[in-house]
Amino acid sequence: MKERDITKNNLIENCKLHLNDFCNTLQGYDDSKEYIKFIKTNILLFLEELSKKRDVDNYFNSSFINNYLSKTIPIKFPDYSKNKIIKIQVILKKFINYLTMQKILNTKINQEIFRNLYNKTKLKKELDKNSNLNNNMITNLNFIKRKEIIQIKNDIINFSLNLNEYFNDELKFNQVIYYFEKKPEKLVVDAILELFKTIDDSIFFKILFFIDTFLKIDLLPSRIVKIITLKSKQDIYFFRLLILYQTFFNSGYVLEKTFPELIKDLNVDEESFFKYVASAFNYIDEGQITSLFENVNNQEEIEDILDVEKFINDIIPFNENTPYLNVDDYEFFKLPKGINLELQKHINFLNTISNSYLQKIKFINSSWGNFKDYFSSNQEKSLIKEAKKLYYKGKFQKALFFINKLLKIRSDSAVALYFKGKLLGEQKKYYNAIKYHLKSLNIDPYKIETYMDLSFLLEIGGYFHSSALLTSLLLRFCPFDFNFHMQLAISSCQILKPFKNCLWLAGSLNPGRLINFLTRFWFYERIKPRDSLKNIGISPNEINELLNSAESIVLNALKVVRLQGTKYKDEKFIDNLNARLENSQYFFPNNEDHIMKNWFAYELTILLAHNFYESYNKNNLNLSYLILSEEFIMLCFELSKITSDQILNTLVKRKNTFSFEIDTETILENEKLKKNPIFEFFCFFISIDAIAAILIDTVTKLITECDTCPNRCLRKPFKWCVAFYILEKVNNDSNNYSNVIQFIDYLNNDFEIFLEDKGLQEKTIDKKVENVEFFLTYLINIIKNKEDTFIEHNLERYINSDVISKFLGYYIIKNKIILTQTSMKEMCRSLKTFISFLYNEYGYFDKVSFSNLNKVLNSSEFFIKRLKSYQECFAKEKNQEIS
């Protein structure tokens, strides 16, 4: 009997091994990829059914196949049509022939099957005959299922209405847990969804709290996302499912999207949602507070009633005389005796990279991201993709199957090892989870997420010393991370170290979430740690030093949060910050400050703000409280001004190049910087070395860009900067021509500086500037007449061949600005220099326009003739008047 059973298993295994080859033979018959997939799926279903067969004496025969086609499939897949089942029969016949050719099935079995297998007509008759029977069976099954769902619904309501009774009685509490563990998850989910559609609000919130406390159904989040994504109407049922989804984050579920991300993706009407949410507090008891509204902008009113101080003050710190609780009352795990976590190695690594700017940035930006990017072959990418999809559906065992297949191909893959550890952790196989995380870190230690999971697993296992050590170091990279502060608080409390500042900070970061955590997950009894300093090889001085360092981080983070508040969560506030950064007038409101030096400082401010944001906000470090603030923008501005001044003070100009010095130590010691309220925190969380490195890198890149920019801010720092106007950084008043006049005035001043830089004599400069002033005055009158206040954009419209011809051939002659031939030649030369200045320095005019203007200005003899003619006519008129 045993031998035949083994033979059956071998046959099924061989069938699976040859399945891909069989499908490959079909591709030559132009079968589509979808049909090939259909074939493979149904053969696997057939083999699965075959593996259940206990009659091993004659396990693979026509009787089994006929029964499978006519009875099993219609019951298991009632939506399969007769034609589809006949197709499956054809597939099985082909597969049996293929197995016979490969000598996996012997000829006798093949002959028996084909001799007695139903033909198409017979199979249809059998399907028709069994149809009524199947329908009755399905009806009975549906009735039983319906009855079970109704019973589960009634039990959930009963448990929810008598919640205190089950909370206060440990035996009853465990009975409820056991009751739902024995129920099929799918039926429990169906019962919950039906209740959410029909019950009153007064009962709904009690049921919500019951589900949040007693149930953890891994497939529930993906089911809810599917329902609310397909729902077109945002009604009460929709809002209730959203509220339930938010509780998942605090209950340890695996979520593909955070609650704020889901809210955004679904375009939720937040005003209507929060009107409904507000009703929650009419029905929730004081102790039944869950963090339903984390990270949502409209939560202020809700958070006002959360008494964080009371919850924290209710926690009484343990002392040496506090008795230990029986550890068996908690769901801890025990690592094998003598296992070496190599904790000292990891402490040394984290300590080293936390003191290095570049290594710290590398570690902070080291999230796994898209797992597929770590693999090259399509097979590997397909395996990790399928595993990840199943992981977010809560199907951890199935996901593990694909990861194991991947590890057979890539045993050295850090991401596959990490993901296996994550899956094992979700299945509460904690020792193996830790083992695979450590294997992953041995291959790639620059992965902050792996360390996060490792420190968390150690904490929930009762390895409080180990968790506290790792978490205290990880805080250097993520000082505002809620989870780390809760982990450190729990571990510190259990090893009799200060912990309440961690709770105060967590409460400042998210009061609702803190209260939820303290209500549900805090250890209110003293638990004997499963590790000790001796067995992990750490001295008391070392742990005290690390915990003191962490305490310093916590205290500084508390100061920052209390200083800045939660303004950064307000989209309007962020929009306002961006608007200020984009407006140079915010930094330089006075027109006299619109010079090249200040434009350089403004550009440096923008780049510095961007680089600090990219490095320290868009990642796990998440310094939003510091970086998304007015003080941060002004700090970047002050830093830019001081740096610009130092560059100019040390600038040495040469013919084609210039050199300068940047002394970051002097810059960062400047008293103006120290007056900024966040400068001290900036240095603490980012470090002086990191600030200096980013400053030098940013300045270097900006100066490199300056080489291709026509402004050349550093070469002519006190020259007026047209960019303040051209790039629309200064607002124009359409009813006031002061900006037009200022623009012309500054243009003339720039021209004067340009002439000085060329080394011309003062007399020559004065004459050229005077001539150009005549022309610009003429230009202002033209612009005023045309009511155009945007001259900086439209300058080429007014300086053209016609305008210059009228100016030289009529305006200056009629107004007697020019009286001699020499003066006319000087005027033409002055305008030619000015046009060249506009073309070469500011990029006005295209080549054709520039060439045409020069032709006009080279025609001084023509304008001299006009001058003579006018003077002769004027003389005749004068003589006639006299006579």
Tell me: the pLDDT tens digits for 520-539?
Answer: 788 888 999 989 998 888 99
CB 469 within 8 A of CB 459: no
Tell me the pLDDT of the chain averaged across its residues.
83
Name the range with the highest mean pLDDT among 337-341, 541-545, 782-786: 541-545
pLDDT given for residue 469 in this prediction: 96
Rounded Cα gap, residues 459 and 462, in angstroms:
5
Phi, psi of 182 (to 5 degrees): -85, -10
What is the widest separation between alpha-carbon atoms in the chain?
Answer: 147
Contact 827, 833 (CB under 8 A): no
The residue-averaged pLDDT of 147-158 equals 88
CA distance 347 to 466: 10
For the segment 337-354, the average pLDDT, to the nearest whole number, is 90
**Whole-angstrom distance, CA of residue 43 vs CA of residue 211:** 40
Q: How confident is the model at residue 621 (pLDDT cuts 50, 70, 90)?
A: low
266: DSSP letter: T
Residue with token string 């961006």: 578
- Angstrom CA distances, 745 to 364, 500, 720, stand at 51, 64, 10
Share of the chain above pLDDT 70, in %: 85
The whole-number pLDDT of residue 3 equals: 35
**Per-position DSSP letters for 580-642, written without gaps between them:** HHT-HHHH--SGGG-BHHHHHHHHHHHHHHHHHHHHHTSSSS--HHHHSSHHHHHHHHHHHHH
Q: Which tops the pLDDT comparison, 289 or 109?
A: 109
Residue ranges covered by each domain of the chain:
2-118, 167-305, 327-560, 568-726, 738-882
Say yes or no to pLDDT of 376 above 60. yes
Say which range, 91-95, 657-661, 844-848, has the weakest mean pLDDT. Answer: 657-661
**Res 878 pLDDT > 90:** no
Q: Is the pLDDT of residue 259 over 80?
A: yes
How far is 451 from 442, CA to CA, in rounded Å?
A: 12
Q: First and final CA of the chain: distance in angstroms?
A: 147
If we measure between CA atoms, which residue out of 415, 416, 411 comes closest to residue 400? Answer: 416
More confident residue, 557 or 25: 557
Supply the pLDDT for residue 340: 83
Tokens of 313: 């003050």
Stretch 151-166: mean pLDDT, rounded? 86
pLDDT for position 520: 76
Separation of alpha carbons 281 and 286, rounded Å: 9
Q: How confident is the model at residue 5 (pLDDT cuts 50, 70, 90)?
A: very low
What's the pLDDT band for 8 if we cut at 50, 70, 90? low
What are the structure tokens assigned to 73, written together?
């499939």
Distance CA 24, CA 35 (A): 12
For residue 627 the two structure tokens come to: 């970086």
Going 439 to 444 to 445 to 446, the CA torsion angle's sign is negative
What per-residue confidence (pLDDT) applies to 524?
Answer: 87
* Span 320-330, pLDDT tens digits: 999 988 766 55
Per-residue pLDDT band for 35 (boundaries 50, 70, 90) equals confident
- Identify the residue with better confidence: 362 or 350: 350
Token pair, residue 385, equals 């993709």
Q: Bigger pLDDT: 707 or 258?
A: 258
Helix, coil or strand: residue 264: helix
Which contacts qualify for 549-553: CB closer than 8 Å, 24 or more apart? 549/472, 549/476, 550/471, 550/472, 550/475, 550/488, 551/498, 551/501, 553/475, 553/476, 553/479
Q: 830-847 burial string, b = 16+ CB within 10 Å, else e?
A: bbbbbbbbbbebbebbee
Residue 590: pLDDT above 80?
no
Mean pLDDT on 253-282: 81
Return the top range by mean pLDDT from 45-59, 129-143, 311-325. 311-325
Query: Is 516 within 8 Å of 303 (Cβ atoms)?
Result: no
Binned at pLDDT 50, 70 and 90, residue 879 comes out as low
Residue 174's pLDDT is 79
- In angstroms, rounded to a whole number, what is the distance separating the alpha carbons of residues 649 and 61? 95
Q: How far apart are CA 364 and CA 617, in angstroms?
A: 10
- 6 has pLDDT over 50: no
Distance from C-alpha of 644 to C-alpha of 184, rounded to nearest angstrom: 69
Per-residue confidence band for 680, with pLDDT thresholds at 50, 70 and 90: very high
DSSP string computed for 362-374: HHHT-----GGGG
| Ranges 172-181, 454-463, 728-737, most confident | 454-463
The token duo for 532 is 């000790």
Confidence grade of residue 412 (pLDDT, cut at 50, 70, 90): very high
Residues in the chain: 883
Rounded to 5 degrees, φ, ψ at 383 are: -65, -45
- Of 708, 695, 623, the C-alpha closest to 666 is 695
Provide the token pair at 683: 């240095």
Q: What is the DSSP letter of 749?
A: H
* Residue 776 tokens, joined: 């610009």
Type of residue numbered 859: S
Distance CA 883, CA 878 (A): 9
How many Å apart are CA 723 and CA 842, to the nearest integer?
9
- Hey, what are 433's tokens? 């989870």
Q: Give the SS3 label for residue 663.
A: coil
Q: Which helix (H) or strand (E) holds 773?
A: helix 762-785
Q: Under DSSP, is residue 870 helix (H, G, I), strand (E, B) or coil?
A: helix
H or E element in which residue 530 lies: none
Lowest mean pLDDT among 304-318, 604-618, 857-871: 304-318
- Asked which of 162-166, 618-622, 873-877 is least confident by mean pLDDT, the reply is 618-622
In this prediction the pTM is 0.67
Instruction: Write out pLDDT tens, residues 70-121.
Output: 888 887 787 788 888 888 998 898 888 888 888 888 888 888 888 888 888 8
The CB density around residue 456, as the number of other CB atoms within 10 Å, is 18
The pLDDT-based confidence of 301 (bands split at 50, 70, 90) is: very low
Q: Which helix (H) or strand (E) holds 868?
A: helix 860-882
Mean pLDDT on 864-883: 74
Q: Which two tokens stand for residue 572?
A: 């309007």
Continuous H helices in 162-184: 163-168, 170-181
pLDDT at 734: 35
DSSP assignments along 542-590, one per residue = HHHHHHHHHHHHHHHHHHHHHHHTTGGG-HHHHHHHHHHHT-HHHH--S
CATH number for the domain running over 327-560: 1.25.40.10
Torsion angle in degrees (nearest 10) through CA of 805, 811, 814, 815:
-150
How many CB atoms sit inside 10 A of residue 297's CB?
A: 14
In the numeric block, which tokens belong to residue 742? 């200022």
pLDDT confidence of 292, banded at 50, 70, 90? very low
Across the chain, how many H-helices and E-strands are there? 48, 2
Looking at residue 636, what is its pLDDT? 94
pLDDT tops 80 at residue 255: yes
**Which CA distances in Å does 31 have to 24, 120, 178?**
10, 22, 50
Catalogue the long-range contacts made by 833-839 (C-beta closer than 8 Å, 24 or more residues apart). Answer: 833/755, 833/768, 834/751, 834/768, 834/772, 834/775, 835/799, 837/750, 837/751, 837/754, 838/795, 838/799
Write out the H or E segment, with its range, that includes residue 837.
helix 821-842
Give the pair of three-digit tokens for residue 794.
Answer: 């439209």
Predicted confidence at residue 437, as pLDDT, reads 96
Alpha carbons 635 and 678: distance in angstroms, whole number: 8
CB distance 249 to 171 below 8 Å: no
pLDDT at 178 exceeding the cut of 90: no
Average pLDDT (725-753) is: 62
Partners of residue 595 on adjacent β-strands? 720
Report d(CA 236, CA 728) in Å as an integer: 48
Residues 6+ away with beta carbon under 8 Å from 95: 15, 22, 43
Listed in sequence order, the residues at least 6 apart from 513 whose beta carbon sits closer than 8 Å to its beta carbon are 250, 291, 294, 482, 506
DSSP string, 18-52: HHHHHHHHHGGGT--HHHHHHHHHHHHHHHHHHHT
> Confidence band (pLDDT; 50, 70, 90) for 555?
very high
